Copies of this chain bind each other. A is one copy, B any other.
Amino acid sequence: MTPRPNPGPAPEPAVATSPEPAAVPVPDPAGTPPPGSTLGMLRLDQHVCFSLQSASRAFNGLYRVLLKDLGLTYPQYLVMLVLWEHGTLPVRKLGEHLRLDSGTLSPLLKRLEAAGLVHRERSARDERSVEVRPTEEGLALRERALDIPRRIAASTGIGLDEIQDLKARLDHLTTALDTAAANEA
């Protein structure tokens, strides 16, 4: 009932580690390890991946604010972007554009359909495939989204050319990481 974790019966079996944690059990036997060293590379502030994830989440936060009016989440917005650009697409193609599989897309599309923004229909040519088509309402939403990219761009505080450069580097990085992950598997 209570949100507290510990006042109950068996909360502190813990592990038979150190009998009494004096003060700082771990860090800095001789100060912060240098960035280039093996130990130093485990420092959080050395991790691009974290900066990357932080930036992505910051984007997400700004989109969340801007998309509130439209009633869309950020992933749903990306789906609508693809549909606005390409029109009706099967789920698989949608997933290729967005790097998402049916496990993510199926429930998301169900929500978009419930919101009246898309229509799903099994393909007549290939009954395995489901065609996702933006409804009139979904198409109309595009007008209300028109100024979002501009507002986002203005918020980044960097120029369009630097954005393009950044994008190119990131896409290159993504390719390299995907390749590595496939080879490590």
A interface residue numbers (CB < 8 A to B): 5-6, 12, 14-15, 17-18, 21, 24-27, 38-39, 41-44, 46-66, 78, 81-88, 97-99, 116, 119-122, 130, 133-137, 139, 142, 145-147, 149-150, 152-158, 162-163, 166-167, 169-174, 176-181, 184-185
A60 to chain B, nearest CB (A): 8
Contact check, B169 vs A26: say whether CB atoms are below 8 A apart: no
Q: A55-B177, A61-B177 are in contact. List 16 more A-B contacts (CB 8 A).
A: A6-B120, A6-B121, A15-B135, A17-B135, A21-B133, A27-B87, A38-B150, A44-B81, A44-B82, A47-B81, A51-B166, A54-B170, A55-B171, A157-B172, A158-B172, A166-B166
Q: How distant is the Cα of A26 from the Cα of B134 in the complex, in angstroms? A: 8
A180 to chain B, nearest CB (A): 3
Q: Which residues of B contact A82 (CB under 8 A)?
A: 44
Cβ 8 A contact of A116, one of B15, B78, B130, B174: B15
A84 to chain B, nearest CB (A): 6
Q: How distant is the Cα of A5 from the Cα of B87 in the complex, in angstroms? A: 22
Q: Which residue of B lies closest to A3 (CB)?
A: B106
Q: Which residues of B contact A166 (CB under 8 A)?
A: 48, 51, 166, 169, 173
Q: Which residue of B lies closest to A46 (CB)?
A: B149
Cβ 8 A contact of A25, one of B88, B130, B149: B88
Contact check, B155 vs A176: say whether CB atoms are below 8 A apart: yes
Contact check, B133 vs A25: say whether CB atoms are below 8 A apart: yes
Q: Which residues of B contact A99 (CB under 8 A)?
A: 54, 57
Q: Which residue of B lies closest to A36 (CB)?
A: B160
Q: How distant is the Cα of A64 from the Cα of B15 in the complex, in angstroms? A: 27
Q: How distant is the Cα of A135 from the Cα of B57 in the complex, in angstroms? A: 30
